[in-house]
Chain A
Amino acid sequence: MTDHSRVRISIVGVVVVSLFGALLTRLWFLQVDTSATEIATEIDQRSNRTVYYETPRGWIYDRRGREIVRNRVTWVLKIDRRLTGDQQEQAIARLSELLDVPRADIEERLADPRISPLEDAVIKVDVPDAIRTEISEHREQYPYIQIEQAAVREYPHGEALAPVLGYIGRVNQDDLDRHPDEYGARDSIGRSGIEAAMESQLRGRRASETVSINPAGQIIGDPLKADPGEAGRDVYLTIDLDWQKQVEASLAEGIAVARRTQNHDVEDLFVTFRAPSAAAVVIDVRTGEVRAMASLPSYDPEEFVAGVSERRWKVLTDEEGNPLFNRATKSTLAPGSTFKLMTSIAAVTSDVRSSSTLFPNTPCYANVSGDQHQEFCNAGRSGNGEMLDMRAALASSSDVYYYSIGDLLWGHWKAGDEERGDSIQRVARDYGFGEKTGIEIGEVAGRVPDAQWRFDYTHAQADAGVEPYAGNVNEWDDWNPADNINLSVGQGDMIASPLQLANAYAAFANGGRLMRPTLIQDVRDVDEVVRTTEPVVRRALPELSITDEQAIWNGLVGAIDEGTAQRAFAGFPFAEVPIAGKTGTAQRGTDYPGCATVEPPKTPADVEHCIGDTSWFVGISSVTDPRYVVVVMVEEGGFGGDIAAPIARQIFEKIYGLGITPIPDAARGSDAR
């Protein structure tokens, strides 16, 4: 080898050394001279993924452990909603043929704007085995179609209790924002009723698995971390399912009767009551436990399992019927004469009239307070001047007797004695009107009107430009005698929910404790009770004198055996089950669109928009040992004694194991106000 070659080999060596040097330098800068932890965290996120699974939702039972809502595992067919054009066309056509459903139905579900476009659309729940086999054997013909197992809600008793139970739906962006750590995009959440109120118990804690993934999202190896989560807890309601079903059946029967009963408020024309909806509550006066709560019309919650079509959703929510709306806690209607219990208590506690003071029951009453004098009449201008004490006034539901109390109290208010002048309002608020009862599910507060409310309301309306208030607000913002007089008989601006009414009567019946009503008996983890609802006394009410209390009780008993509910309870075994109660027939506010303009009406269409009276009944059983209050309300059902009272009778008959008496058609000229 020449020296020249040696030099060149040496140069080669130098080149080799410098190349290795370059590699090492680069390696150093890449691996050691970087913020390695930052990269490591980022890489952790890239290569690990935590997958969440919903755990089975808790079941719902009645107080005796009968299943009301349970879970069922079934096959669900879904379509990828990101499909477009021909692919979508093909998928729809194939599915339509296979499932034998109209294409429009599938298209509507695909186009549903209520769920995220990234989420698969559920086309069918309970996919039959034959179809499942067909699809899995010919996968290539059904691209973008998924069949997977899912746990869905099952309702063995159909419509029973549905508006109270509520329903579940997919979480939306709002839910995710509010509970970022608890819900995933495809999870379910209780949307209303018990399902929503008890969400935290029913839901449990979702399971999770942290897995390694490759860039294609495929799972590599065993999970790094697995959390089995917790199954949802079971909720036991205070509801008695047997009673509940009877209540719903009785309401339905009452509605049917009302719809064939003539509305004599419409003269010279045969028009029946529309009775579009009804509600009832049975409450245990000692604990506030709700034994039954019904709202009609109801709906089949199974509809929500498969997903309600947009069209169906509009029917469920927009129309007057609105079966999703729980009228027992959310409707706000004037309580009518059932409110006279409050006025009676206000009268005796404010000393404007003792329970034994007699007052003439004239057909009409003219107010004595205030500058303007108008007449306020009994329903049907009944009354011939006979002298009534409080007992008789309650039993016969004399409006005049109570008008005068409202009038006198207004006089005191006007004279500056607001304490005394606001007696009705104060008593009503004490008994829970005008505020939420505190029950677990959604409810409304209702309203107890007074001077301040009148002022605020009128000015708010005026500010909003609503006539007639906006024109001359000062003319409308006064608290007038008529306002207090209307309030005295539960009319005018006084509104309440059936539950509030039941709770107020329960407070009277149990000797003056306003309870917080509850639907939840306890919560169980498998069979272990983990949470019990203890009775909550919200307020101890001022005691009544024995005489006054007796007079009121007797008035309520009288209403049933000789008064407004007498016919409805004819033949009822009072000796065994002594009950008390009060009817109510409430006019619906002051808005009678259409009615005032067409007079006299010529055709049923002329009174189509007239709103009939609300039929109320409140019953207490028993007089000797008060246990239950039953409230029945039938919207546009007519007289309380004709419709609501017979429904309540059936409920009492169920509670005490008596034979159920059919609801009779109302007689003409009923005095069952």
Chain B
Amino acid sequence: MTALAPPTGRVRGARERVFGHTGDPHPLMHVDWLLVAVTFAITALGLAMIYSATNSITEVNDLGRMHYVSRQAMALGIGVVAMIVAASFDYRRFRELWPVAYGLVIPLLIAVRFVGTGQGGTTAWFDVGPMQFQPSEIAKLAIILAVAGYCHAHRGELDAWRLAVAVTVAGIAMGLTMLQNDLGTMLVMGACTIGILYVAGLRFVHLLVLFLLAASCLVGLLVTDTFNAYRLERLTGFVTQDRVEDATAATDTEYNLQQSKDAIANGGFWGQGFGEGPLTQNGFVPEQHTDFIFTAVGEELGFVGAASLLGLYGILAWRIWRTAMLSQDFQGTLICIGVLAVFVFQIFENAGMTMGIMPITGIPLPFVSYGGSALIAYLAAIGLVINVHMRRFS
């Protein structure tokens, strides 16, 4: 594998600075195996939890017991390929090529608005044979590459005009995502954009302006018809949650949240045991194999299991953050920060909503929730981080 990095302008990594670099610069020698291991450990746990959480849904719909698990495993296979591809390519090529990736994704986002299918008011994916392809998941990667690439090109000189360009680049993809009614994914895109811009040297005043902009956009959405009542109710459900005394008077969202919290609480410290959680096994938590899979972990594996999962995510975040620190160049740092922001935002939002501390939005728990496109995109994102990590000396 030949690195096509420019020979000059190389920034030395932290470790190299401290210990001095004596090792082989070949990238394959510097793959972050801990990151890889943690990624697959979480994915394996995800497969197990999908199996457990689909007991009821497969029986009721007369599907095979492995229906969802096998599809997810298929996506995992594709994802591993995607990860290797994402790692193989020298990420520094995206300094110039990010518009290509971005240009490929935008038409998909437009197309899905018209020919896509979805649920709960969204039109977020294409049906591809038995699988579904959700372009907004890939779009997250495109935004990371685009914003990181743009900011890297103008590092140190991120004035208001260039900031506006960067925000527009991300904003177009975000707006298209919002047109699919996919608020959650849009928020993830926003979080990762702000994360990259922040590390890229965004000035505090501009950050403040950005937050005001985002807030007014949100308020604007809330008062328009585009944002249907169902979405609004789901968003605000977590605010009203404790006021619900009478179960029959609860709205769908409140019911959803109550079942979700009950399932987690039912896990206790040690959990009910894998395949033994009554609410999980009997399908009491709606959307449990996708957005609410954290409740299956909570009920069946208990505090021990859920905290361990958060611990694995912690290691994942640490390794990504560390890669950001070690990166050979600023572009790599920004890519890693983007990936980190995506994961952390999703983990916090997803786990948080199941526990009632965040509003309910339809975003998956990385590597664990059922959903092929997302898994493939996340593995590709890890691939990017590995890419940065293993090229830190070359």
Contact = CB atoms under 8 A, between A and B. Distances in A.
A221 B306 CA distance: 26
B264 A31 contact: yes
Contacts of B200: 5
B198 A214 contact: no
Interface stretch (B93-101, B123-131, B350-358): B350-358
B30 interface: no
A16 B344 contact: yes
Given A16-B321, A31-B268, A220-B55, A26 B283 contact: no
Given A1-B330, A20-B317, A30-B261, A47 B284 contact: yes
Identify the interface centre among B269, B282, B302, B347: most chain A CB within 10 Å of its CB: B282
Contacts, number: 134
A31 B60 contact: no
A343 B218 CA distance: 104
A47 B282 contact: yes
Interface in A18-32: 19-20, 22-24, 26-28, 30-32
Nearest to B200: A5
A32 to B, nearest CB: 5
Interface string B151-162: 000001000000
Contact count band on B: 35 or more
Given A30-B265, A220-B60, A5 B201 contact: yes
Contacts of A539: none
A31 B337 contact: no
Secondary structure at the B interface, as helix, strand, loop or mixed, is: helix
A44 B341 CA distance: 39
B230 interface: no
Interface residues of A, number: 40
A47 B279 contact: yes
B180 interface: no
Interface stretch (B78-86, B307-315, B370-378, B382-390): B307-315
A475 B100 CA distance: 121
Nearest to B284: A215
Contacts of A46: 278-279, 284
Identify the interface centre among A2, A4, A12, A15: most chain B CB within 10 Å of its CB: A12
A212 interface: yes
A24 B312 CA distance: 13
B282 A27 contact: no
B306 to A, nearest CB: 5
Interface stretch (A34-42, A88-96, A429-437, A523-531): A34-42
A26 B264 CA distance: 11
B109 interface: no
Contact of B352 (A9, A23, A36): A23
Contacts of A19: 344, 347-348
B278 A9 contact: no
A24 B281 contact: no
B278 A27 contact: no
B307 A24 contact: yes
Interface in B257-276: 259, 261-262, 264-269
A9 B199 contact: yes
A539 to B, nearest CB: 62
Contact of B355 (A4, A15, A27, A216): A27
Contacts of A180: none
Contact of B303 (A31, A47, A212): A31
B279 A1 contact: no
B59 interface: yes
B298 interface: yes
A610 interface: no
Nearest to A10: B325
A470 interface: no
25 contacts: A1-B11, A5-B330, A12-B321, A16-B321, A19-B348, A23-B355, A27-B264, A27-B306, A31-B268, A31-B269, A31-B298, A36-B266, A40-B266, A43-B279, A47-B281, A48-B278, A212-B278, A213-B282, A214-B283, A218-B60, A220-B56, A220-B59, A220-B60, A220-B281, A220-B282
Interface of A: 1-2, 4-6, 8-9, 12-13, 15-16, 19-20, 22-24, 26-28, 30-32, 34, 36, 39-40, 42-44, 46-48, 212-216, 218, 220-221
Given A12-B324, A16-B344, A214-B282, 15 more contacts: A2-B201, A4-B201, A5-B330, A5-B333, A9-B321, A12-B321, A26-B352, A27-B307, A27-B310, A27-B355, A31-B298, A44-B278, A47-B282, A212-B278, A214-B284
List the 4 shortest-distance A-B pairs measured between CB atoms, nearest first: A47-B278, A214-B283, A36-B268, A31-B303
